[in-house]
Structure 1
Amino acid sequence: MTNDDGYFGHDVAATYDDPESDAFRPDVIETTVDVLEGLATDGSALELGVGTGRIALPLARRGVRVHGVDLSRAMVERMRAKPGGDEIGVTIGDFATTRVDRRFSLVYLVFNTINNLTTQADQVACFRNAAEHLSPGGCFVIEVGVPELRKLPPGQTAVPFQVGENGVAYDVYDVATQAMSSNYVTVVDGRARFRSIPFRYVWPSELDLMAQLAGLRLRDRWGDWGREPFTGDSGKHVSVWEKQAG
Protein backbone atom coordinates (compact mmCIF):
# COMPACT_ATOMS: atom_id res chain seq x y z
CA MET A 1 0.00 0.00 0.00
CA THR A 2 1.28 3.46 -0.88
CA ASN A 3 0.67 6.61 1.13
CA ASP A 4 -1.13 8.12 -1.85
CA ASP A 5 -3.70 5.32 -1.69
CA GLY A 6 -4.43 5.90 1.98
CA TYR A 7 -5.87 2.75 3.54
CA PHE A 8 -7.06 1.37 0.20
CA GLY A 9 -3.90 0.21 -1.54
CA HIS A 10 -3.37 -2.72 -3.88
CA ASP A 11 -3.78 -5.35 -1.16
CA VAL A 12 -7.22 -4.03 -0.19
CA ALA A 13 -8.27 -3.31 -3.77
CA ALA A 14 -7.46 -6.87 -4.83
CA THR A 15 -10.08 -8.32 -2.48
CA TYR A 16 -12.53 -5.42 -2.18
CA ASP A 17 -15.10 -6.86 -4.60
CA ASP A 18 -16.43 -9.58 -2.31
CA PRO A 19 -19.22 -11.65 -3.91
CA GLU A 20 -20.17 -12.90 -0.44
CA SER A 21 -20.91 -9.37 0.77
CA ASP A 22 -24.52 -8.15 0.68
CA ALA A 23 -23.30 -4.92 -0.93
CA PHE A 24 -22.30 -6.85 -4.06
CA ARG A 25 -25.54 -8.79 -4.46
CA PRO A 26 -27.05 -8.04 -7.88
CA ASP A 27 -30.44 -7.16 -6.39
CA VAL A 28 -28.88 -4.70 -3.93
CA ILE A 29 -26.90 -3.03 -6.69
CA GLU A 30 -29.94 -2.86 -8.97
CA THR A 31 -32.12 -1.26 -6.29
CA THR A 32 -29.40 1.27 -5.48
CA VAL A 33 -28.93 2.18 -9.13
CA ASP A 34 -32.70 2.49 -9.61
CA VAL A 35 -32.82 5.26 -7.00
CA LEU A 36 -29.71 7.06 -8.24
CA GLU A 37 -30.80 6.95 -11.87
CA GLY A 38 -34.10 8.58 -10.92
CA LEU A 39 -32.28 11.38 -9.07
CA ALA A 40 -29.86 12.09 -11.94
CA THR A 41 -32.46 14.21 -13.64
CA ASP A 42 -30.19 15.59 -16.36
CA GLY A 43 -28.32 12.33 -16.82
CA SER A 44 -25.16 13.36 -14.97
CA ALA A 45 -23.76 12.14 -11.65
CA LEU A 46 -20.62 12.54 -9.55
CA GLU A 47 -19.60 9.68 -7.27
CA LEU A 48 -17.39 10.62 -4.34
CA GLY A 49 -15.26 7.60 -3.49
CA VAL A 50 -15.90 5.78 -6.78
CA GLY A 51 -13.63 2.90 -5.81
CA THR A 52 -13.82 -0.19 -8.00
CA GLY A 53 -16.98 0.97 -9.73
CA ARG A 54 -19.53 -1.17 -7.86
CA ILE A 55 -22.21 1.48 -8.45
CA ALA A 56 -20.66 3.75 -11.10
CA LEU A 57 -20.43 1.05 -13.76
CA PRO A 58 -24.04 -0.20 -13.66
CA LEU A 59 -25.27 3.40 -13.37
CA ALA A 60 -23.27 4.33 -16.47
CA ARG A 61 -24.75 1.35 -18.30
CA ARG A 62 -28.16 2.96 -17.68
CA GLY A 63 -26.98 5.95 -19.71
CA VAL A 64 -25.99 8.24 -16.83
CA ARG A 65 -22.75 10.17 -17.42
CA VAL A 66 -20.80 9.29 -14.28
CA HIS A 67 -17.62 10.96 -13.11
CA GLY A 68 -15.76 9.72 -10.04
CA VAL A 69 -13.42 11.12 -7.41
CA ASP A 70 -11.17 8.80 -5.43
CA LEU A 71 -7.89 9.01 -3.52
CA SER A 72 -6.87 5.43 -4.27
CA ARG A 73 -5.30 4.78 -7.65
CA ALA A 74 -5.28 1.08 -6.80
CA MET A 75 -9.06 0.97 -6.45
CA VAL A 76 -9.53 2.93 -9.67
CA GLU A 77 -7.19 0.53 -11.49
CA ARG A 78 -9.52 -2.31 -10.51
CA MET A 79 -12.45 -0.41 -12.00
CA ARG A 80 -10.49 0.32 -15.17
CA ALA A 81 -9.93 -3.41 -15.67
CA LYS A 82 -13.70 -4.08 -15.78
CA PRO A 83 -15.88 -3.80 -18.91
CA GLY A 84 -16.74 -0.13 -19.37
CA GLY A 85 -14.33 0.95 -16.65
CA ASP A 86 -12.20 3.02 -19.00
CA GLU A 87 -15.25 5.10 -19.93
CA ILE A 88 -15.75 6.48 -16.39
CA GLY A 89 -13.94 9.77 -15.94
CA VAL A 90 -12.01 9.90 -12.65
CA THR A 91 -10.30 12.69 -10.77
CA ILE A 92 -7.73 11.44 -8.25
CA GLY A 93 -7.91 13.26 -4.93
CA ASP A 94 -9.55 13.66 -1.53
CA PHE A 95 -13.30 13.79 -2.13
CA ALA A 96 -13.77 16.33 0.67
CA THR A 97 -11.99 19.03 -1.31
CA THR A 98 -11.18 17.85 -4.86
CA ARG A 99 -13.01 19.83 -7.51
CA VAL A 100 -14.26 18.79 -10.95
CA ASP A 101 -14.79 21.61 -13.42
CA ARG A 102 -18.49 21.09 -14.04
CA ARG A 103 -21.80 20.61 -12.23
CA PHE A 104 -24.06 17.60 -11.88
CA SER A 105 -27.70 16.90 -11.08
CA LEU A 106 -26.59 14.20 -8.61
CA VAL A 107 -23.66 13.78 -6.23
CA TYR A 108 -23.60 10.58 -4.19
CA LEU A 109 -21.53 8.94 -1.48
CA VAL A 110 -22.51 5.36 -0.63
CA PHE A 111 -21.55 2.36 1.51
CA ASN A 112 -20.50 4.29 4.65
CA THR A 113 -17.82 6.22 2.75
CA ILE A 114 -18.61 9.50 4.55
CA ASN A 115 -17.07 7.84 7.61
CA ASN A 116 -13.70 7.62 5.83
CA LEU A 117 -13.40 11.33 6.59
CA THR A 118 -12.15 11.11 10.16
CA THR A 119 -12.82 14.66 11.39
CA GLN A 120 -16.00 16.68 11.60
CA ALA A 121 -14.29 19.49 9.69
CA ASP A 122 -13.56 17.18 6.76
CA GLN A 123 -17.15 15.91 6.74
CA VAL A 124 -18.45 19.48 6.70
CA ALA A 125 -16.03 20.27 3.85
CA CYS A 126 -17.39 17.28 1.94
CA PHE A 127 -20.95 18.65 2.12
CA ARG A 128 -19.75 22.02 0.88
CA ASN A 129 -17.81 20.37 -1.92
CA ALA A 130 -20.85 18.34 -2.94
CA ALA A 131 -23.04 21.46 -2.93
CA GLU A 132 -20.55 23.31 -5.13
CA HIS A 133 -20.77 20.51 -7.70
CA LEU A 134 -24.58 20.46 -7.77
CA SER A 135 -26.76 22.23 -10.29
CA PRO A 136 -29.72 24.13 -8.77
CA GLY A 137 -32.33 21.55 -7.79
CA GLY A 138 -29.72 18.79 -7.74
CA CYS A 139 -29.41 16.21 -4.97
CA PHE A 140 -26.66 14.94 -2.66
CA VAL A 141 -27.19 11.36 -1.49
CA ILE A 142 -25.44 9.56 1.37
CA GLU A 143 -25.84 5.93 2.44
CA VAL A 144 -24.39 5.30 5.89
CA GLY A 145 -24.95 3.05 8.87
CA VAL A 146 -26.41 4.17 12.16
CA PRO A 147 -23.77 3.81 14.92
CA GLU A 148 -24.41 0.58 16.80
CA LEU A 149 -23.78 2.01 20.23
CA ARG A 150 -26.82 0.24 21.68
CA LYS A 151 -24.87 -3.01 21.31
CA LEU A 152 -22.20 -1.78 23.73
CA PRO A 153 -22.66 -2.82 27.36
CA PRO A 154 -21.00 -0.59 29.97
CA GLY A 155 -17.23 -0.76 29.71
CA GLN A 156 -17.14 -2.41 26.27
CA THR A 157 -15.88 -0.62 23.16
CA ALA A 158 -15.93 -3.34 20.47
CA VAL A 159 -18.77 -4.77 18.36
CA PRO A 160 -17.98 -7.87 16.23
CA PHE A 161 -19.64 -7.99 12.82
CA GLN A 162 -18.02 -11.03 11.24
CA VAL A 163 -16.85 -14.27 12.85
CA GLY A 164 -15.67 -17.29 10.89
CA GLU A 165 -13.09 -20.03 10.59
CA ASN A 166 -10.75 -17.76 8.63
CA GLY A 167 -10.89 -14.73 10.87
CA VAL A 168 -12.90 -12.13 12.70
CA ALA A 169 -13.84 -8.51 12.13
CA TYR A 170 -15.02 -5.96 14.68
CA ASP A 171 -15.67 -2.25 15.09
CA VAL A 172 -14.19 -0.25 17.96
CA TYR A 173 -15.99 2.91 19.12
CA ASP A 174 -14.86 5.93 21.14
CA VAL A 175 -18.12 7.52 22.23
CA ALA A 176 -16.35 10.65 23.50
CA THR A 177 -14.81 11.60 20.13
CA GLN A 178 -16.96 9.65 17.60
CA ALA A 179 -13.75 8.03 16.38
CA MET A 180 -14.11 4.42 15.39
CA SER A 181 -12.18 1.77 13.51
CA SER A 182 -12.98 -1.39 11.61
CA ASN A 183 -10.51 -4.14 12.45
CA TYR A 184 -9.87 -7.37 10.57
CA VAL A 185 -7.97 -10.45 11.71
CA THR A 186 -7.52 -12.83 8.78
CA VAL A 187 -5.99 -16.30 9.09
CA VAL A 188 -4.23 -17.70 6.02
CA ASP A 189 -2.17 -20.91 6.16
CA GLY A 190 -2.20 -20.78 9.93
CA ARG A 191 -0.87 -17.21 10.10
CA ALA A 192 -2.89 -14.25 11.33
CA ARG A 193 -2.85 -10.85 9.67
CA PHE A 194 -4.29 -7.72 11.30
CA ARG A 195 -5.60 -4.66 9.48
CA SER A 196 -7.30 -1.58 10.95
CA ILE A 197 -9.05 1.29 9.14
CA PRO A 198 -10.03 4.48 11.01
CA PHE A 199 -13.40 6.16 10.59
CA ARG A 200 -15.58 8.80 12.21
CA TYR A 201 -19.18 7.83 12.82
CA VAL A 202 -21.86 10.47 12.39
CA TRP A 203 -25.52 10.75 13.35
CA PRO A 204 -28.36 11.64 10.93
CA SER A 205 -29.11 14.89 12.78
CA GLU A 206 -25.44 15.90 12.55
CA LEU A 207 -25.47 15.25 8.81
CA ASP A 208 -28.57 17.43 8.48
CA LEU A 209 -26.74 20.30 10.17
CA MET A 210 -23.78 19.83 7.81
CA ALA A 211 -26.22 19.98 4.92
CA GLN A 212 -27.72 23.25 6.22
CA LEU A 213 -24.25 24.77 6.46
CA ALA A 214 -23.74 23.86 2.80
CA GLY A 215 -27.07 25.36 1.69
CA LEU A 216 -28.87 22.02 1.25
CA ARG A 217 -32.20 20.88 2.68
CA LEU A 218 -33.34 17.38 3.56
CA ARG A 219 -35.73 16.00 0.97
CA ASP A 220 -35.97 12.31 1.87
CA ARG A 221 -34.60 9.84 4.38
CA TRP A 222 -35.19 6.10 4.07
CA GLY A 223 -34.09 3.04 5.97
CA ASP A 224 -32.65 1.49 2.80
CA TRP A 225 -32.59 1.85 -0.99
CA GLY A 226 -36.05 0.30 -1.23
CA ARG A 227 -37.37 3.52 0.36
CA GLU A 228 -38.46 1.79 3.57
CA PRO A 229 -39.30 4.24 6.38
CA PHE A 230 -36.38 5.27 8.56
CA THR A 231 -37.09 4.37 12.19
CA GLY A 232 -35.31 4.09 15.50
CA ASP A 233 -34.56 0.46 14.66
CA SER A 234 -33.03 1.13 11.23
CA GLY A 235 -29.46 -0.07 10.88
CA LYS A 236 -28.64 2.53 8.26
CA HIS A 237 -30.18 5.36 6.29
CA VAL A 238 -30.20 6.69 2.76
CA SER A 239 -30.57 10.47 2.93
CA VAL A 240 -31.26 12.88 0.08
CA TRP A 241 -30.51 16.59 0.41
CA GLU A 242 -31.51 19.07 -2.28
CA LYS A 243 -29.85 22.26 -3.47
CA GLN A 244 -32.37 25.03 -3.76
CA ALA A 245 -33.05 26.38 -7.23
CA GLY A 246 -32.43 30.07 -7.85
Structure 2
Amino acid sequence: MDDPDGYFGEQVAARYDDDSSERFRPETVNRTADVLADLAGGGRALEFAVGTGRIALPLAARGVEVHGIELSRAMLARLHAKPGADKVRTTVGDMTTTRVDGPFLLVYLVFNTITNLTTQDAQVACFENAAAHLSPGGRFVIEVGVPELRKLPPGQTMIPWHTGETSYCYDVLDAGTQSMIGHYITVDGERSEHKTIPFRYVWPSELDLMARLAGLRLVHRWSDWTREPFTHESTGHVSVWRKPA
Protein backbone atom coordinates (compact mmCIF):
# COMPACT_ATOMS: atom_id res chain seq x y z
CA MET A 1 0.00 0.00 0.00
CA ASP A 2 1.28 3.44 -0.96
CA ASP A 3 -1.05 5.16 1.53
CA PRO A 4 0.84 5.67 4.82
CA ASP A 5 -2.46 4.92 6.58
CA GLY A 6 -2.55 1.48 4.98
CA TYR A 7 -6.02 0.14 4.23
CA PHE A 8 -7.67 2.61 6.61
CA GLY A 9 -6.91 5.92 4.93
CA GLU A 10 -9.10 8.94 4.37
CA GLN A 11 -11.64 7.17 2.17
CA VAL A 12 -12.37 4.54 4.83
CA ALA A 13 -12.06 6.91 7.80
CA ALA A 14 -14.58 9.34 6.31
CA ARG A 15 -17.38 6.77 6.48
CA TYR A 16 -16.11 4.43 9.20
CA ASP A 17 -18.53 5.69 11.87
CA ASP A 18 -21.49 5.36 9.48
CA ASP A 19 -21.43 1.59 9.95
CA SER A 20 -24.84 0.36 11.04
CA SER A 21 -23.74 -3.13 12.09
CA GLU A 22 -24.50 -4.51 15.54
CA ARG A 23 -21.03 -3.65 16.90
CA PHE A 24 -21.63 0.07 16.29
CA ARG A 25 -25.03 0.29 17.96
CA PRO A 26 -25.08 2.39 21.15
CA GLU A 27 -26.21 -0.53 23.32
CA THR A 28 -23.30 -2.69 22.13
CA VAL A 29 -20.77 0.12 22.52
CA ASN A 30 -22.00 0.87 26.04
CA ARG A 31 -21.92 -2.81 27.02
CA THR A 32 -18.38 -3.12 25.65
CA ALA A 33 -17.21 -0.03 27.54
CA ASP A 34 -18.85 -1.30 30.76
CA VAL A 35 -17.04 -4.65 30.55
CA LEU A 36 -13.70 -3.01 29.77
CA ALA A 37 -14.11 -0.49 32.60
CA ASP A 38 -14.73 -3.40 34.96
CA LEU A 39 -11.66 -5.24 33.70
CA ALA A 40 -9.54 -2.08 34.05
CA GLY A 41 -10.28 -2.19 37.77
CA GLY A 42 -9.68 1.51 38.26
CA GLY A 43 -6.34 1.42 36.44
CA ARG A 44 -5.13 2.78 33.12
CA ALA A 45 -6.13 1.25 29.77
CA LEU A 46 -4.36 1.03 26.41
CA GLU A 47 -6.26 0.37 23.19
CA PHE A 48 -4.39 -1.13 20.25
CA ALA A 49 -5.79 0.23 16.94
CA VAL A 50 -7.88 2.88 18.67
CA GLY A 51 -9.32 4.05 15.34
CA THR A 52 -11.95 6.78 15.58
CA GLY A 53 -12.42 6.25 19.30
CA ARG A 54 -15.60 4.16 19.04
CA ILE A 55 -14.72 2.39 22.32
CA ALA A 56 -11.98 4.60 23.80
CA LEU A 57 -14.18 7.67 24.16
CA PRO A 58 -17.04 6.02 26.09
CA LEU A 59 -14.47 4.14 28.18
CA ALA A 60 -12.76 7.43 29.07
CA ALA A 61 -16.19 8.92 29.87
CA ARG A 62 -16.48 6.21 32.53
CA GLY A 63 -13.46 7.62 34.31
CA VAL A 64 -10.80 5.29 32.89
CA GLU A 65 -7.52 6.88 31.79
CA VAL A 66 -7.18 5.73 28.18
CA HIS A 67 -4.24 5.81 25.77
CA GLY A 68 -4.54 4.61 22.18
CA ILE A 69 -2.09 3.44 19.51
CA GLU A 70 -3.21 3.82 15.89
CA LEU A 71 -1.38 3.52 12.56
CA SER A 72 -3.91 5.55 10.55
CA ARG A 73 -3.64 9.32 10.92
CA ALA A 74 -6.94 9.66 9.05
CA MET A 75 -8.72 7.60 11.70
CA LEU A 76 -7.07 9.57 14.50
CA ALA A 77 -8.20 12.84 12.93
CA ARG A 78 -11.80 11.64 13.32
CA LEU A 79 -11.18 10.73 16.95
CA HIS A 80 -9.59 14.11 17.77
CA ALA A 81 -12.59 15.95 16.30
CA LYS A 82 -15.07 14.29 18.66
CA PRO A 83 -16.31 15.56 22.05
CA GLY A 84 -14.22 14.18 24.89
CA ALA A 85 -11.19 13.50 22.70
CA ASP A 86 -9.00 15.47 25.11
CA LYS A 87 -9.44 12.61 27.59
CA VAL A 88 -7.79 10.06 25.26
CA ARG A 89 -4.04 10.28 24.64
CA THR A 90 -2.98 8.89 21.27
CA THR A 91 0.22 7.75 19.62
CA VAL A 92 0.74 7.08 15.91
CA GLY A 93 2.31 3.68 15.49
CA ASP A 94 2.10 -0.06 14.89
CA MET A 95 0.48 -2.15 17.63
CA THR A 96 3.13 -4.85 17.23
CA THR A 97 6.11 -2.64 18.11
CA THR A 98 5.09 0.83 19.33
CA ARG A 99 5.64 1.42 23.04
CA VAL A 100 4.06 4.10 25.20
CA ASP A 101 4.62 5.04 28.82
CA GLY A 102 2.97 2.50 31.10
CA PRO A 103 2.24 0.35 32.82
CA PHE A 104 -1.44 -0.42 32.23
CA LEU A 105 -3.91 -2.69 33.99
CA LEU A 106 -5.75 -3.26 30.72
CA VAL A 107 -4.71 -3.58 27.07
CA TYR A 108 -7.48 -4.33 24.59
CA LEU A 109 -7.98 -4.96 20.87
CA VAL A 110 -11.53 -5.14 19.52
CA PHE A 111 -13.56 -5.69 16.34
CA ASN A 112 -11.48 -8.48 14.68
CA THR A 113 -8.45 -6.19 14.45
CA ILE A 114 -5.99 -8.94 15.41
CA THR A 115 -6.73 -10.39 11.94
CA ASN A 116 -5.43 -7.21 10.28
CA LEU A 117 -2.00 -8.58 11.20
CA THR A 118 -1.51 -10.91 8.26
CA THR A 119 1.26 -13.17 9.59
CA GLN A 120 1.51 -15.38 12.63
CA ASP A 121 4.75 -13.64 13.62
CA ALA A 122 2.99 -10.27 13.67
CA GLN A 123 0.14 -11.64 15.78
CA VAL A 124 2.64 -13.14 18.24
CA ALA A 125 4.44 -9.78 18.38
CA CYS A 126 1.13 -8.10 19.22
CA PHE A 127 0.74 -10.34 22.27
CA GLU A 128 4.32 -9.67 23.29
CA ASN A 129 3.77 -5.92 22.99
CA ALA A 130 0.58 -6.14 25.05
CA ALA A 131 2.37 -8.12 27.77
CA ALA A 132 5.21 -5.58 27.84
CA HIS A 133 2.70 -2.80 28.58
CA LEU A 134 0.84 -4.67 31.33
CA SER A 135 1.54 -4.36 35.01
CA PRO A 136 1.51 -7.63 37.03
CA GLY A 137 -2.06 -8.82 37.30
CA GLY A 138 -3.06 -6.78 34.22
CA ARG A 139 -5.28 -8.15 31.46
CA PHE A 140 -5.16 -8.33 27.67
CA VAL A 141 -8.55 -8.51 25.90
CA ILE A 142 -9.27 -9.46 22.29
CA GLU A 143 -12.62 -9.50 20.48
CA VAL A 144 -12.55 -11.55 17.27
CA GLY A 145 -14.74 -13.79 15.15
CA VAL A 146 -14.45 -17.56 14.84
CA PRO A 147 -13.38 -18.67 11.34
CA GLU A 148 -16.47 -19.77 9.44
CA LEU A 149 -14.94 -22.77 7.71
CA ARG A 150 -17.98 -24.87 8.61
CA LYS A 151 -19.87 -22.91 5.94
CA LEU A 152 -17.53 -24.06 3.18
CA PRO A 153 -18.48 -27.17 1.18
CA PRO A 154 -15.68 -29.05 -0.59
CA GLY A 155 -14.13 -26.96 -3.33
CA GLN A 156 -15.58 -23.61 -2.20
CA THR A 157 -13.41 -20.83 -0.78
CA MET A 158 -15.84 -17.86 -0.79
CA ILE A 159 -18.20 -16.85 2.03
CA PRO A 160 -20.64 -13.98 1.31
CA TRP A 161 -21.59 -12.07 4.46
CA HIS A 162 -23.38 -8.92 3.33
CA THR A 163 -25.75 -8.11 0.49
CA GLY A 164 -27.53 -4.80 0.14
CA GLU A 165 -29.05 -2.64 -2.55
CA THR A 166 -25.75 -0.87 -3.22
CA SER A 167 -23.10 -2.97 -1.45
CA TYR A 168 -21.87 -6.54 -1.38
CA CYS A 169 -19.18 -8.15 0.79
CA TYR A 170 -17.58 -11.56 0.78
CA ASP A 171 -14.44 -13.26 2.08
CA VAL A 172 -12.14 -15.64 0.23
CA LEU A 173 -10.34 -18.03 2.57
CA ASP A 174 -7.31 -20.28 2.19
CA ALA A 175 -7.34 -22.97 4.87
CA GLY A 176 -3.75 -23.90 4.05
CA THR A 177 -2.31 -20.50 5.01
CA GLN A 178 -5.15 -19.07 7.16
CA SER A 179 -5.21 -16.10 4.82
CA MET A 180 -8.49 -14.33 4.16
CA ILE A 181 -9.17 -11.63 1.59
CA GLY A 182 -12.15 -9.38 2.25
CA HIS A 183 -13.89 -8.12 -0.90
CA TYR A 184 -16.04 -4.99 -0.66
CA ILE A 185 -18.14 -3.91 -3.64
CA THR A 186 -20.19 -0.71 -3.75
CA VAL A 187 -22.43 0.43 -6.58
CA ASP A 188 -23.36 4.06 -7.24
CA GLY A 189 -25.54 4.36 -10.30
CA GLU A 190 -23.50 3.15 -13.23
CA ARG A 191 -20.26 3.25 -11.27
CA SER A 192 -18.92 0.52 -9.04
CA GLU A 193 -15.92 0.17 -6.74
CA HIS A 194 -14.19 -3.05 -5.71
CA LYS A 195 -11.78 -2.95 -2.77
CA THR A 196 -9.90 -5.78 -1.06
CA ILE A 197 -8.29 -6.02 2.37
CA PRO A 198 -6.07 -8.93 3.51
CA PHE A 199 -6.52 -10.65 6.87
CA ARG A 200 -5.21 -13.69 8.73
CA TYR A 201 -7.88 -15.59 10.60
CA VAL A 202 -6.87 -17.20 13.88
CA TRP A 203 -8.35 -19.89 16.12
CA PRO A 204 -9.03 -19.45 19.87
CA SER A 205 -6.55 -22.21 20.74
CA GLU A 206 -3.87 -20.53 18.61
CA LEU A 207 -4.45 -17.24 20.44
CA ASP A 208 -4.05 -19.08 23.75
CA LEU A 209 -0.67 -20.39 22.63
CA MET A 210 0.40 -16.89 21.56
CA ALA A 211 -0.63 -15.67 25.00
CA ARG A 212 1.44 -18.35 26.71
CA LEU A 213 4.48 -17.39 24.65
CA ALA A 214 4.01 -13.85 25.95
CA GLY A 215 3.66 -15.03 29.55
CA LEU A 216 -0.12 -14.59 29.77
CA ARG A 217 -2.82 -17.05 30.87
CA LEU A 218 -6.45 -17.31 29.82
CA VAL A 219 -8.93 -16.32 32.53
CA HIS A 220 -12.16 -15.71 30.55
CA ARG A 221 -13.62 -16.57 27.17
CA TRP A 222 -17.13 -15.32 26.40
CA SER A 223 -19.19 -15.52 23.24
CA ASP A 224 -19.61 -11.72 23.27
CA TRP A 225 -19.73 -8.69 25.56
CA THR A 226 -22.78 -10.06 27.40
CA ARG A 227 -20.34 -12.52 29.01
CA GLU A 228 -22.40 -15.46 27.80
CA PRO A 229 -20.37 -18.71 27.73
CA PHE A 230 -18.32 -19.50 24.64
CA THR A 231 -19.66 -22.63 22.96
CA HIS A 232 -19.29 -24.78 19.86
CA GLU A 233 -21.91 -22.58 18.15
CA SER A 234 -20.34 -19.21 19.02
CA THR A 235 -19.55 -17.08 15.98
CA GLY A 236 -17.02 -14.96 17.88
CA HIS A 237 -15.41 -14.54 21.26
CA VAL A 238 -14.14 -12.04 23.78
CA SER A 239 -11.05 -13.54 25.42
CA VAL A 240 -9.21 -12.25 28.48
CA TRP A 241 -5.66 -13.24 29.39
CA ARG A 242 -3.92 -12.20 32.60
CA LYS A 243 -0.29 -11.39 33.33
CA PRO A 244 0.78 -13.21 36.49
CA ALA A 245 1.12 -11.06 39.59
Distance, in Å, in 2 between the alignment partners of 1:218 and 1:123 is 17
- Give the superposition deviation at 1:42: 3.2
Paired AA for residue 22 in structure 2: D
Paired AA for residue 60 in structure 1: A
- Give the superposition deviation at 1:43: 2.8
- Give the superposition deviation at 1:4: 1.5
Instruction: Give the alignment's TM-score, normalised by structure 1.
Output: 0.97
The answer for the alignment partner of 2:20 in structure 1 is: 20
The answer for the alignment partner of 1:191 in structure 2 is: 191
Q: Conserved in 1, the CA contact under 8 Å of 2:65 and 2:87?
A: no
Q: Does 1:202 align with 2:221?
A: no
The answer for the alignment partner of 1:244 in structure 2 is: 244
Q: CA RMSD in A?
A: 1.0
Paired AA for residue 193 in structure 1: E
What does 1:70-219 correspond to in 2, within 5 Å?
A: 70-219=70-219
Paired AA for residue 45 in structure 1: A
Distance 1:52 1:77, change over 3 A: same
What SS does the aligned partner of 1:107 have? strand
- Unpaired segments of 5 or more residues in structure 1? none
What SS does the aligned partner of 1:3 have? coil
Out of 189-198 and 83-92, give the one that drifted further. Answer: 83-92
The answer for the alignment partner of 2:67 in structure 1 is: 67
- Give the superposition deviation at 1:189: 2.3
Q: Does 1:8 align with 2:8?
A: yes
What SS does the aligned partner of 1:14 have? helix
Out of 157-166 and 201-210, give the one that drifted further. Answer: 157-166
- Give the superposition deviation at 1:124: 0.3
- Give the superposition deviation at 1:34: 0.9
Paired AA for residue 175 in structure 1: A
Distance, in Å, in 2 between the alignment partners of 1:84 and 1:29 is 16
Superposed CA offset, 1:180-205 (max 9, x none): 01110100122110111100000000
Distance, in Å, in 2 between the alignment partners of 1:86 and 1:63 is 13
Runs of 4+ aligned residues of structure 1 deviating over 6 Å after TM superposition are none
Instruction: Give the alignment's TM-score, normalised by structure 2.
Output: 0.98
- Give the superposition deviation at 1:2: 5.5
What SS does the aligned partner of 2:78 have? helix
Paired-residue identity, %: 66
- Unpaired segments of 5 or more residues in structure 2? none
